[in-house]
Amino acid sequence: MTTTTTAASNHRAEKADKADARAAAKTAAGEELVRLPRRRVDEVLIGFGVIATIVFAVAGGLLLWGNSFSNDYVHKELASQNVFFPSKADLVAEGRTDLVGHAGQQVTTGSEAQAYAGYIAGHLEGIAGGKTYSEIDDRGAAAKVTAAEKAGASKADVAKLQATADELKGQRDTLFKGETLRGLLLSAYAWSTVGMIAGIAAWVAVAAAVLMALITGAGVVHLRRTTH
């Protein structure tokens, strides 16, 4: 056992001697060995740590500001519209039991805006057979009325065409207003979502800044204890 241990030790010593010999040979050939002091390594790492801490802290602050701005903007814009959900009884009667939790409430948050946009969409689907306002040809219907009058059509025929034109125009106006409001509500929901993501990212950045500050502090302590 002693013989085996001695042989292993001798082998390691021979490898070390060979490594030193190779290093000496390189030095003799004009290749200088670069030895970086431990303190220099610590100083470089501390510098990177300070920069990273500052970057994360600034990013966290900006993201928190963005989160606050988004939430305030969405709340103010929605509150100014004075949009309220119908009563519980009306929602149940319309078959919108999924919105009962919002019954009678004012729309002031992104999630409420999304819910009310869905409520509007349900109403719009029942107008003009599910068509959008751009698909309704009320102008064509009005042109038919004019053409019938010029052709000398009977008053009954003209009145029938006029009633159709008026109905289409009313549907188009209702769909335009409904889709516009729905678009505004969904935009508010989108901004609210962006603000929420910014808030999450902000706290992640703040946590990273704190972590980097602790690591940098530990590096400073180590640097003070290092003499070479």
pLDDT tens track of the chain, all 228 residues?
444 445 545 555 565 555 555 555 554 444 455 566 777 777 788 889 899 999 999 999 999 999 999 999 999 999 998 999 999 999 999 888 999 999 999 999 999 999 999 999 888 888 877 788 788 888 888 888 888 888 888 888 888 888 888 888 888 888 888 899 999 999 999 999 999 999 999 999 999 999 999 999 888 887 777 766
In the numeric block, which tokens belong to residue 107?
A: 């729309």
> Please, is 95 exposed, middle or buried when counting C-beta atoms within 10 Å of its C-beta (0-12, 13-18, 19+)?
exposed
In sequence order, what are the beta bridge partners of 114?
none
In the numeric block, which tokens belong to residue 177?
A: 């207003």
Query: What's the start-to-end Cα distance of the chain, in Å?
Result: 40
- Please tell me whether the overall predicted TM-score, pTM, comes out greater than 0.75 for this model: no
Spatial contact of 124 and 175, defined as CB atoms under 8 Å apart: yes
- Please report the DSSP string for the chain in residue order: -HHHHHHHHHHHHHHHHHHHHHHHHHHHTT-PPP---HHHHHHHHHHHHHHHHHHHHHHHHHHHHHHHHHHHHHHHHHHHHT-BPPPHHHHHHTT-GGGGGGTT-B--SHHHHHHHHHHHHHHHTTSGGG--GGG--HHHHHHHHHHHHHTT--HHHHHHHHHHHHHHHHHHHHHHHHHHHHHHHHHHHHHHHHHHHHHHHHHHHHHHHHHHHHHHHHHHHHHHH---
In sequence order, what are the beta bridge partners of 207?
none
Q: Which of 75, 83, 136, 141 is nearest to 107 (CA)?
A: 83
Residue type, 24: A
